[in-house]
Amino acid sequence: MRGGIVAFLLALTGGLLWGVGAVLAGDTTPATPSGAQPTVTPASVPADQSAEQLTNVPLPFVYTKWRHFTVEDGLPNDHIFAVKVDGPRVWIGTENGLACYDKRTGKMRVWKEEDGLPWRVVTAIDIDRKTGDVWLGLFGGGLARFSGGRFDHYHQLNSGLVNDVVYGVAVENDHVWAATTAGASRLNLKTGQWTIFTEKNAPMEEIWNYAVHYRDGKVHLAVWGSGVLEFDVATERWQVYLDPDREMEIDLYRDDGIIHVITTGANYVDGILWVSSYFGLSRYDGRRWRGFYAHETGMPSDFTNSLRARSGQECYFAHDKGLGVIAHFDSDTYASYTRDQKTLRGKAAVFRSGKKLIELDLEKTIPHNFCICVDVDEKDIWVGTSKGLGWGIGDGYYPGVRENPVWLAEYNQSRQKQDLTAASTPTTTGQ
């Protein structure tokens, strides 16, 4: 009897320890073959939403094919802080190293501190299109140029970099800009001269720069507590965009300016300025502002780590609860990509004017809901998350919205196939 009790207790304890161990191990996801061809395999669509009924409704492109990359696929670390596409190469900045994925060969190369990378945490990447040099923002390590297999290191003690905590980097013509925690720095690549921008010579109410982006003659700095600063390269003049109500705890009017001064990203494409913050999103066309909140659009969250615009109509947002997309501004159409917490399958949804049009249950979407960075790669997109990198494959991508899109037909076919399979499976219940 006593032995039986002991055995029972041991089994119980063992089970408990196993369970705790599994949780501590941190991953109960079934292993995914890294080289597997992505497929669309929907499981089911909730009964109140019918994919078939949407055939004549204009819909945006939805990424239904995804690949995931983690340390098992060669990444140096799963915590992805930056992703930048450079033709066939995809540069990936992680919490512990730099990686480059070659789409042609499927090979991943990695650089860590022991390989010459000046500091382990890579938070920003940009490419000098003239030279092919890769510029890296290092979180606490300054700035690095990777060229010809060599890392050149710029930091507070050997250059005009204003601070070593670099959040953003952007190449502008013959300059490299760095957004740091204590101002912005600009390096002239021809003269080697550095310029520092702080509250002393730029309209920064605060100096906590978070992101920098260059396009079409304008540099945009997203600054925590100071909204967005626009630097016109030709005139060297600044324009500042602040939240007009100037209150932290409210957004008085949604469309009167940027919705909050604590901004995290700014992209300028097709004459449109897109802005992300921890409180929501904004878009400015030069005359009118428009604010976007999750509760009105269907996007996963207001807390937005960064953004990447594909056009003046389409922009991708890395939220803490998934990937959000303003898929087509003119038709008020949005999309979201999340990972189901229970099934770990992917979910994609399309919304218009606050109404959900469709929700797709997919084998995969983003690798983790905590999205940190995103880049657009012609028809594809790349999403860096807290646990892996996602590649959204844009076969059949189209801008705007379209009736009877191919992805919807494929999804419906796949679903019908699955229904047939389910119907042909003999049931043993209900006797």
Where along the sequence are the contacts to other proteins (CB under 8 A)?
3, 6, 9-10, 12-13, 16-17, 20, 23-29, 81, 95, 120-121, 123, 139-140, 156, 162-165, 167, 180-183, 198, 206-208, 210, 224-225, 245, 247-254, 259-260, 262, 278-280, 291, 293, 303, 320-321, 339, 341-342, 344, 368-370, 386-387
What is the C-alpha separation between 114 and 106, in angstroms, rounded? 24
Nearer to other proteins, 60 or 183 (CB): 183
Nearest-CA neighbor of 414 among 403, 402, 406?
406
Written as one letter, the residue type at 313 is Q
Nearer to other proteins, 60 or 298 (CB): 298
**Could you tell me the smallest distance in angstroms from the CB atom of residue 393 to other proteins?**
22
Place of tokens 């490299």: 176
**Could you tell me the smallest distance in angstroms from the CB atom of residue 303 to other proteins?**
6
Number of Cβ atoms within 10 Å of the Cβ of 346? 23
Classify 205 in phi/psi space as left (phi over 0), alpha (psi -120 to 50) or beta.
Answer: alpha
Nearer to other proteins, 236 or 249 (CB): 249
**Could you tell me the smallest distance in angstroms from the CB atom of residue 45 to other proteins?**
22
Place of tokens 């906590």: 208
Nearer to other proteins, 1 or 423 (CB): 1
On whether the CB atoms of residues 180 and 161 are closer than 8 A, the answer is: yes
Number of Cβ atoms within 10 Å of the Cβ of 9? 10
Number of Cβ atoms within 10 Å of the Cβ of 413? 12
- Token reading at 132: 């092919």
**Could you tell me the smallest distance in angstroms from the CB atom of residue 162 to other proteins?**
6
**Could you tell me the smallest distance in angstroms from the CB atom of residue 163 to other proteins?**
4
Nearer to other proteins, 195 or 386 (CB): 386
Nearer to other proteins, 24 or 423 (CB): 24
Residues 151-175 as b/e (b if ≥16 CB within 10 A, e otherwise) read: bebbbeeebbbbbbbbbbbbbbeeb
**Could you tell me the smallest distance in angstroms from the CB atom of residue 190 to other proteins?**
26
Nearer to other proteins, 25 or 234 (CB): 25
Whole-Å CA distances, 317 to 161, 220, 263, 311, 404? 29, 17, 13, 13, 26
Q: What letter does residue 287 receive in the DSSP assignment? A: S
**Could you tell me the smallest distance in angstroms from the CB atom of residue 281 to other proteins?**
12
